[in-house]
A and B are shown apart, each in its own frame.
Chain A
Amino acid sequence: MTNDRWTSGDAELTNALRALYAAPAEERYWDALEARILAHVARGDEGAMWWGELIEMVRPGLVAAAALILAATLAMVRSQQLEARSAYASVISAPSTLEAPSRGASVGDGDVAIHYLLSR
């Protein structure tokens, strides 16, 4: 059975792990890393600031563009509604095209229907 405790034979493995993962010991290394970290943070903040300023600058333009798009969409919807309404109105107010043709003595009901269909 595998034991999860290190045995004395595992000590060399632990030592090898420690050697492999040993952090740099020189104080100069840590001073340099600290400087690099702070420079990275400063650069990152500048980038974020630049991006924030850009967003601030373009925000009025974005708002205006959004308002324009909204207005154009509303106008389009309204014009479609008006068009539909006038189409209905024209259909309702137009004189019926299904007027019965005057019945002549020689024209039968079947002829009237054919005449109507051909006239369409």
Chain B
Amino acid sequence: MKNNNESIKISGAEAVIQSLLAEGVDLIYGYPGGAIMPIYDELYKFQEKLQHVLTRHEQGAAHAAQGYARTSGKVGVAMATSGPGATNLVTGIADAQIDSTPIVCITGQVASHLLGSDAFQEIDIIGISIPVTKWNYQITKASEVPSILAKAFYIAKSGRPGPVLIDITKDAQFEEFDFKYEHCKGIRSYKPVPDLNMESLKDAAEIINKAKKPMIVWGQGVILGRAEELLKEFIEHSGIPAVWTILGVSAIPTSHPLNKGMVGMHGNYGPNILTNECDVLIAIGMRFDDRVTGKLETYAKQAQIIHFEIDPAEINKNVYADVAVLGDCKISLKKIIPLINKDTYSSWIYRFDSLMEIENEKVIQNDLFPTKKGLTMGESIRTINKYTKGDAVIVTDVGQHQMVACRYTNFIKSKSNITSGGLGTMGFALPAAIGAKMGAPGRQVIAIIGDGGYQMTIQELGTIFQTKTAVKIVVLNNGFLGMVRQWQQMFFDKRYSSTEMVNPDFVKIAKGYYIDAEKVSERNDLDPAISRMLSSDKPYFLEICVEKEDNVFPMIPTGASVSDIRLS
């Protein structure tokens, strides 16, 4: 296609490929099957322009598309056939919905005359995916392909990003029509970015300027809004201490003097306690998830809340905002900075530092520099930091290792922490790491996974091997579903119901896929093993056998107030 406005007769299937190319897509993840074969036939013809990565399960395709989107900042694309192919995507779509990740999923569907007949591999994926998509649509005529795909990409990436699913009947893939592509520039019923109200911005500035103990809590919205530099400027200009939610972590370097750590269930001691002491809480691109707020009735009740947010539905959803600054944080931050007075807040910042000292003494030292025999997750992360110097993308799964990795990784660059936050999808990390590496091919990508989650999508080792994607896989093996076991220990009187895992020889499995692999269980072997792994330019698997019954602290028990955070 030389000219997008020139129309030529092509099939619906080819139109899908042409539309993807017109959207700048050069990489997709997927798995073929009956109802999507015409599109795969076109992919074969276009393989030089559009790379297709065959994952080993459709869930892997969806997570890989997420990982790709999160490191590249572009829209990830996943494809699957009808029926089970489509339902297998659903977990990834749901994960993308709750974590605002822009992906477009394309599913094949039985021919339109068979819809509703319970045909082979027919499933109502439109109905199934409604609650977990930002938008979805079933194409039954080839002529709909270009405009609907243009809409799909526009919706996925604009405003608060999210997943879009497009289901295409097989007859629409075969049908020929005059193809013409136009990018979507707007939809009359959809306002992606609300207008910024200068009055609320001024109100916010006035409150911030009067504050004695202000605190910034930023989330992933800052990364999605590409406002990392402005956030840094805002923090430095105002002198206000800032803390992060798990999805926001890499937006500001870990070592920044005003970066005071993580809020939430396994966040840092100071940020959680001081949430209930600050006089102004400035939330930027975060949504007051229950894992962040703990008991809502006692969350920051003493503080005035200022909420910078792109999605109007998030305002007053969980926490009442005294001032809501709706809009794109890149614009609102830029406009508020000149209105903010500089301060040092020295005694207030001292509170953060002195609470960090307590946490350091009671928790962090033992995690990072253990004196007991067994290896800890914390020292594994510390050793990884030593070699990466913070310049790596850390992809984590869900559970204890996730909390430890996010707490202790030294980040220096944005878009470096890829994790399943809202949905808490075990099995996310391995496929997401494939996408993360392909979205940032020049960067070191390290997947840190527990022995439980690893086995949920372990088949993606096949994808890694086939595509020679040089991801580094670290399995922190404690032989337990560690987080559930921790809860059983703390709240269910140590009744370890179905949490102990009898694991296979992970090294042999990796080697079965011709991936270099090793296992360590002694402290002296840890550092050299991590060094070998990180200096390899190939995929590499490292199993680290850690203490079986270590717990993650600090911790806010479910339903407790953030200030009731426990250190043991």
- A, B: real partners: no
